[in-house]
Amino acid sequence: MRYIKAVYEQRSFTKAAEKLYISQPSLSAMVKKAEAELGAAIFDRSAVPLELTEAGQAYMEFIEDTARNEAILNEKLWDIQNLNKGRICVGGSNYILSNILPLILQRILPDYPRIVFETVEENSFSLRQMLHAGALDVVIDSPSTEDPSLIYHDLFQEQILLAVSAENPINARLAAYRITLPELAGIRQNRKYLPDGLARTALEQPFILLKSENDMYQRASAVFQHYRLQPQVVLQLDQLNTSLQYTAYGLGSSFVTDTLFRYGNSCPNICLYAIAVPSCQRKLCIVRKKGKYISKAGNLFIQTAQAIFAPLDAG
């Protein structure tokens, strides 16, 4: 199967033989033997470059299925024989990989130093595609809707806040509703929200939004739609952390999450406000594909994350 796959990938017996370090006649003989056992030609030798026949396409699907099954078997055996080893590929946005993932890894890696973590940084739309394709083990994300082909492990609720440059004169009108860093843990209970009139005024300022493939863009759009406003967009960026920095420089207001400030991070040039719109509450989850084998390393990752963030959600 490995030889036939090499011929298919190289579209040439000569190139495949060179890659496999065997002679072309030997390779051709092996393929002919496989075709005789199959009872049908695998390759259309009249095509240049070489192409698969219909039977060859079916055989190639069998090869790929066999390789996937072997990989699953090897992963399971690895787990059984090496409880403290594993590999997991985690996907997330820049915000997730910069602010959430380190909190999980600092709890896992000291006790399980031989677990290998790989990370992929993409927007929400691309991450979902990669998860469905099997390219990622888990994704940390805030899904606006749930896909029945995926499994969601809840972590905590986030509050989306309005960030305004401290130098913006509008803060004088909003001062009574400003959320300080010590208050962040209790904003859901205190309901310290901007009244509709002040919220509308704040939303009429120049804004920095994320690009449309980001969940935060969708939620920001819902806020503007709630107040029937057209945002004055001065910039659209890829990353939440970047938009916050641009706001601190006075380039425009933006939407951020309370999680950015919950771990002692301070941003003295920013004033934060809460808006009472449903889209400003979102749930952060670990997402994985239903039916895909989850390794012991993956289960450890999920359980550790939930143990870390359960107290945060309760607060």
Domains and CATH numbers, the chain: 2-80 (1.10.10.10), 83-155+284-314 (3.40.190.10), 156-282 (3.40.190.290)
Q: Is 137 helix (H, G, I), strand (E, B) or coil?
A: coil
Structure tokens belonging to residue 293? 């084998």
CB 207 within 8 A of CB 201: no
At residue 229, φ and ψ (nearest 5 deg) are -120, 150
Q: Are strands 43-44 and 51-52 parallel, antiparallel or unpaired?
A: antiparallel
Please give the chain's pLDDT, 315 residues, in tens.
888 888 888 888 888 888 888 888 888 888 898 888 888 888 888 888 888 888 888 888 888 888 888 888 887 777 656 656 778 999 998 889 988 999 999 999 998 888 889 999 998 889 999 999 989 999 999 887 889 999 999 999 888 999 999 999 999 999 999 988 777 765 555 568 999 999 999 999 999 999 988 889 999 999 999 999 999 999 999 888 899 999 999 999 999 998 888 765 667 789 999 999 999 998 999 999 998 888 888 899 999 999 998 765 554
Can you tell me the distance from the alpha carbon of 238 to that of 244, in angstroms, rounded to the nearest whole number?
A: 12
Residue in 79, 88, 86 with CA at minimum distance from that of residue 135: 88
CB atoms within 10 A of CB 159: 19
